């Protein structure tokens, strides 16, 4: 049974427990140099909601941790802000650095290896395209729609707001049922590298690419879990309470 991280633990210790939490901390705007401060002290100092921070960190640290109940009380704005920052990280940091390494690998391989190595690049390009499309759809349609839902709900839904919601021609239940698994291609990509990579002198580079792919996969799974276990159920409740039914002509 994995430990549950609480507010009294030192922030520095958190990183020693799981260094993969570092990018998660960065998404909250946190940088190294925590000294002896506890999670609660750092959160207060940086004006971060401690409960929300702990739920995200525990969800990431332990796959069996169920964030639903606690995060149900958090505002949708806060959850979406975190999810958007994760999107930025996936595209601007992770995909970029993996792409650079794959290009370097292609450049350094011999002429007999080039075909197989080029296949990795093709797979990566396809995966990147798919992930960017998924993120774009969420940033431009799904999240604004859910924010509007919450706004309408809090402000005691006016007909004007309800019309605006209907105009989206979109529904959370549809999004939930079609929330595509963007990790399938990532799984294929990892497999190609592990099984079919030609013998190469670039062992370190290859390992580095794989480590980053595994890390990205874990981060994405965690992200998806927050979307599916926290955001979607919350939005579905609001949709039902507002009596919104946008089930037709949905393009997701």
Do 231 and 79 form a contact (C-beta atoms < 8 A)? yes
Q: Which residue has the tokens 């990280």?
A: 89
Q: Which is nearer to Fe ion, 46 or 88 (CB)?
A: 88
User: What is the SS3 assignment for 160?
Assistant: helix
Residue nearest to Fe ion (CB): 138
Question: Least distance (Å) from Fe ion to the CB of residue 112?
Answer: 40
Question: Least distance (Å) from Fe ion to the CB of residue 115?
Answer: 34
Q: Which residues bind Fe ion (CB under 5 A)?
A: 138, 227
The partner residues of 61 in beta bridges, in order of sequence, read none
Q: Which is nearer to Fe ion, 227 or 239 (CB)?
A: 227
Q: Which is nearer to Fe ion, 6 or 96 (CB)?
A: 96
Question: Least distance (Å) from Fe ion to the CB of residue 146?
Answer: 12
Q: Which is nearer to Fe ion, 138 or 219 (CB)?
A: 138
Sorted by sequence, the CB contacts under 8 Å of residue 98 that are 6+ apart come out as: 124, 209, 212, 213, 216
For the four alpha carbons of 128, 129, 133 and 136, in that order, the dihedral sign comes to positive
Question: Least distance (Å) from Fe ion to the CB of residue 137?
Answer: 8
Do 226 and 67 form a contact (C-beta atoms < 8 A)? yes
């Amino acid at each position: 049974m994995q430990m549950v991280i609480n507010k009294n633990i030192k922030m520095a210790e958190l990183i020693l427990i799981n260094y993969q939490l570092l990018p998660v901390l960065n998404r909250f705007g946190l940088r190294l140099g925590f000294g002896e401060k506890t999670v609660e002290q750092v959160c207060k100092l940086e004006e971060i909601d401690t409960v929300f921070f702990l739920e995200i960190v525990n969800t990431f640290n332990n796959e069996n941790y169920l964030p639903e109940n606690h995060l149900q009380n958090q505002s949708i704005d806060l959850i979406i802000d975190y999810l958007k920052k994760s999107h930025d990280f996936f595209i601007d940091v992770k995909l970029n650095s993996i792409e650079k390494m794959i290009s370097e690998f292609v450049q350094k391989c011999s002429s007999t290896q080039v075909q197989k190595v080029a296949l990795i690049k093709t797979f990566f390009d396809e995966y990147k395209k798919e992930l960017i499309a998924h993120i774009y759809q969420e940033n431009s349609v799904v999240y604004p729609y859910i924010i509007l839902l919450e706004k309408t709900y809090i402000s005691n839904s006016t007909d004007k707001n309800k019309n605006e919601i209907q105009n989206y021609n979109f529904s959370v239940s549809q999004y939930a049922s079609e929330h595509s698994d963007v990790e399938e291609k990532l799984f294929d990509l990892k497999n190609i590298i592990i099984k079919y990579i030609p013998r190469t002198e670039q062992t370190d580079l290859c390992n580095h690419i794989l480590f980053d792919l595994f890390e990205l996969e874990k981060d994405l799974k965690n992200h998806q879990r927050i979307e599916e276990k926290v955001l979607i159920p919350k939005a579905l409740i609001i949709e039902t309470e507002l009596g919104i039914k946008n089930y037709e002509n949905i393009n997701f």
